[in-house]
Amino acid sequence: MGDRKVTYYYDPDIGDFYYGQGHPMKPHRVRLAHCLVTRYDLWRHLDIVRPRPARKCDLVEFHSPDYVDFLRAVTPGNQEELAAALKQFSVAGDCPIFDRMYQYCQIYAGASIGAAMQLNYGRADIAINWAGGMHHAKKAEASGFCYINDIVLAILELLKVHTRVLYVDIDVHHGDGVEEAFLTSDRVMTVSFHKYGDNFFPGTGDLGECGLAAGRGYAVNVPLRNGMDDASYEGLFRPIMTAIMERFRPEAIVLQSGADSLAGDKLGVFNLSIPGHGRCHAFLRAFGLPLLVLGGGGYKVKNVARCWAYET
């Protein structure tokens, strides 16, 4: 770790949130990862911070005010009365309404914004928020278990200080919400390594999707097939990221570290090992730039906890 300052965001309440019976997303995985971080005495090397919950004024930096108002108002008890809004904002199915859902969003988004601020102020060289990484949420639409896009909010915060920000996504699913948010920007380059084809969610992220207008060429998609192993993945990741670092020359990096790209994940189709997944971190960390590390997907809870503790 050397002399790098690492800030680690964790709220002990995060594991209490529950998407519902049978839902694959388990916020409890973040608590399990934290238990391993604690048991391995990693906390001695970290500045552990409990996040300040994001306020509406923070969330509307990206999300539409009426969407945020809806998330704040809807509950399992009144959702039938808000059926039209549920449909309008795509909150149903894989994005269910559950108890204290808005508070959950406030915690993970507040942590990512706070982590970005720590990097901006120079109080940390690396900042970690395993509860974040909700890369599918759109400006006024929930998607893929994601309600608030904490990544976009964090990048917007980083852009207040840094001219160019690089976003790298190693979740098995395409980082569509982040790419869409910065589709026309030349200050943010989005890079996503993901499964593509066979109607795999979200169905975007083909090779030809590379940004629009001023942002053309600033969205990089690496569509992959089933069964990617460590050697194959690293054989793509290293040369692609080396070329991007040389050409784009970012001033800060955001890494979405979805653990559903690990072998054996309930929703994933790749065969990465935990050390193989972690080598993506090591590669990016070696550039010595301010680095924001976020969670994301991951649906075999024990594997997710092991992976994120290892990467911590």
Q: What is the pLDDT of residues 282-307, one digit of tens each?
A: 999 999 999 999 999 999 999 999 99
Which region, left, alpha or beta, applies to residue 124 given φ > 0 means left and ψ of -120 to 50 means alpha? beta
pLDDT at residue 201 tops 50: yes
What's the whole-number mean pLDDT along residues 79-97?
A: 95
Among 136, 162, 194, 281, the one annotated catalytic: 136
**pTM tops 0.95, yes or no:** yes
Q: Please tell me whether the peptide bond between 12 and the residue prior to it is cis, using omega within 30 degrees of 0.
A: no
Q: What is the pLDDT of residues 145-187, one digit of tens each?
A: 999 999 999 999 999 999 999 999 999 999 999 999 999 999 9
| Helices and strands in the chain, H and E counts | 10, 8
3-state helix, strand, coil in the chain (%, to 5): 40, 15, 45
Using a pLDDT cut of 70, give the percent of the chain over it.
99
pLDDT at residue 71 tops 80: yes
* pLDDT confidence band for 2 (50 / 70 / 90): low
Q: What is the pLDDT of residues 236-282, one digit of tens each?
A: 999 999 999 999 999 999 999 999 999 999 999 999 999 999 999 99
Between CA 236 and CA 1 the distance in angstroms is: 26
pLDDT at residue 3 tops 90: no
Residue list, annotated binding site for substrate: 94, 144, 299
pLDDT at residue 30 tops 90: yes
Rounded to the nearest 10°, the torsion over CA 88, 91, 94, 95 is 150
What's the whole-number mean pLDDT along residues 223-231?
A: 98
Residue list, annotated binding site: 94, 144, 171, 173, 260, 299
Q: What is the pLDDT of residues 98-131, one digit of tens each?
A: 999 999 999 999 999 999 999 999 999 999 999 9
Q: pLDDT value at position 1?
A: 44
Query: Does 194 participate in catalysis according to the annotation?
Result: no
**Mean pLDDT for all residues in the chain:** 97
What's the whole-number mean pLDDT along residues 12-27?
A: 98
* pLDDT confidence band for 92 (50 / 70 / 90): confident
